[in-house]
Amino acid sequence: MENKIALLSKEKVISMTTLSYPTIWRMMKKGDFPKSVSASNRRVAWRAKDIEKWIEERSSTYNSTSITVTQTN
């Protein structure tokens, strides 16, 4: 059985997360974003499952937050 790991380019990760690369870099350094892997000498990539999990965790945190809107006259 072949075990393939899907990798995402920097551009794809930026598109999926809507974060800028400097923001992603800062978050990685703080441990708040998945670490990149070396795709070649000059390119980095991320494991698709790591990015998908990170997005899901952020989404579930957002969805569990209660938002109340009150209208005043």
CA distance 16 to 13: 5
Average pLDDT over every residue of 50-56: 96
pTM: 0.75
Instruction: Sort strands 7-9 and 37-38 into parallel, antiparallel or unpaired.
Output: unpaired
pLDDT of residue 1: 55
Stretch (H or E) spanning 9: strand 7-9
| Domains of the chain, first to last | 7-63 (1.10.238)
* pLDDT single digits (tens) 22-42: 999 999 999 999 999 998 999
